[in-house]
Amino acid sequence: MIQERTIPTLPSIAPVTREEGLAIYEDMVLGRTFEDKCAEMYYRGKMFGFVHLYNGQEAISTGVIRTMHPGEDYVCSTYRDHVHALSAGVPAREVMAELFGKVTGCSKGRGGSMHLFSAEHRLLGGYAFIGEGIPVALGAAFQSKYRRETMGDETANQVTAAFFGDGTSNNGQFFECLNMAALWKLPILFVVENNKWAIGMAHERATSQPEIYKKASVFGMPGIEVDGMDVLAVRTVALEAIERARAGEGPTLIECLTYRFRGHSLADPDELRSKAEKEAWLARDPIKKLAGHLTEKNLATAEELKAIDRQIQAVIEDAVKFAQDSPEPEASELYRYVFAEDE
């Protein structure tokens, strides 16, 4: 018998200003609108390959990444990476162009949906295979600590966030990297986006300890469970974890309980999850929850939020036009970027 997890409630939520609240809302709407447009383009035959959308999980990307230092801290993603890239500051134009395989994309048209990368925005990549990004994130965290403590570089105060799903928490890289991060007190956040399903495998059927955050105790690091459908709750937990990491107090494992509103990928008919389960999670839409909070606390009006919706829609339409009008990579450059090049 599969037991449903109780959604955790934090004792207190970090206060948010009007400016912060509107910025958070805008980032979440950007992610949702972008993904909806991706689905439209995919089904119209404008986008190819495997495309995994993030609908429903926006509170995690925004709550963690937008709480970090943009352009300074590092983000390591998964194959569900579009929204992480947007939250990290990669322009919607560059992300959309990459999905269209165009040379103006953030990975020069070489990566596609699952391999977004931007050195400028400290996005260390999306990864097609689960767990691949965790060691990369560990390396980024290690170099920050090494440069600061061994080489005396006072500017090396970056924090790294490694995102991955519940299925990945059963893989070797997860355990090995948590162990190393704890031993060396690395400035890293391990962020589990537990959306209950690893493709078609229910999380509770795949692990002997469904409460992933409890696995942190084995390595002597804090493990925190948070409502991944509440951006302000995620932000509160992230603020504390980032502060600990930057102060040299080491890593944190954050398990965000969330749900993807679409199938595993756009090629997935999504027939394994029950209608009742999907409807129950849809009712907890994180964007609607934030909108309700902002209006209830008089931090924004419904009209202001609708204006943001329209503004973001225009941004996405512009991104699609930019992607469609951009050139494809030249065949003569097929082998470029395979190896490092001299400046």
Average pLDDT over residues 227-245: 98
Q: What is the pLDDT of residue 113?
A: 97
Give long-range contacts, CB 8 A cutoff, 24+ apart: 317-321: 318/92, 318/93, 319/34, 319/37, 319/91, 319/92, 319/93, 319/95, 319/96, 319/97, 320/37, 320/41, 320/96
DSSP for 10-55 reads: -S------HHHHHHHHHHHHHHHHHHHHHHHHHHTTSS-S-----T
Identify which of 114, 110, 111 has the alpha carbon closest to the alpha carbon of residue 129: 114
Reading the block at residue 242, the tokens are 């980032």
Average pLDDT over residues 49-71: 96
Q: Is the pLDDT of residue 207 over 50?
A: yes
Q: How confident is the model at residue 337 (pLDDT cuts 50, 70, 90)?
A: confident
**Over the stretch 70-86, which tens digit does the pLDDT of each residue have?**
899 999 999 999 999 99
Q: Is the pLDDT of residue 309 over 50?
A: yes
Reading the block at residue 15, the tokens are 């206060």
Q: Is the pLDDT of residue 28 over 70?
A: yes
Q: What is the pLDDT of residue 340?
A: 84
**Over the stretch 86-143, which tens digit does the pLDDT of each residue have?**
999 999 999 999 999 999 999 999 999 999 999 999 999 999 999 999 999 999 999 9
Rounded CA-CA distance 252/188 in Å is 7
pTM: 0.96
Percentage helix, strand, coil, to 5, in the chain? 45, 10, 45
CB atoms within 10 A of CB 289: 17
Rounded CA-CA distance 121/125 in Å is 11
Q: Is the pLDDT of residue 199 over 70?
A: yes
Q: Is the pLDDT of residue 15 over 60?
A: yes
Q: How confident is the model at residue 1 (pLDDT cuts 50, 70, 90)?
A: very low
Spans of all domains in the chain: 18-195+203-323
Average pLDDT over residues 333-339: 88
Q: How confident is the model at residue 203 (pLDDT cuts 50, 70, 90)?
A: very high
Q: What is the pLDDT of residue 343?
A: 63
CB atoms within 10 A of CB 261: 18
Q: Is the pLDDT of residue 47 over 50?
A: yes
User: Is 1 strand, coil or helix?
Assistant: coil
Going through the chain in order, the beta strands assigned E by DSSP cover 74-76, 160-165, 188-194, 197-198, 201-202, 223-227, 252-257
Average pLDDT over residues 193-213: 94
Q: What is the pLDDT of residue 338?
A: 86
Which CATH number does 18-195+203-323 carry?
3.40.50.970
HSE-up of residue 101 (Cα within 13 Å, Cβ side): 13
Rounded CA-CA distance 107/104 in Å is 8
Q: How confident is the model at residue 342 (pLDDT cuts 50, 70, 90)?
A: confident
Q: What is the pLDDT of residue 3?
A: 57
Q: Which amino acid is at 300?
A: A
Average pLDDT over residues 248-260: 98
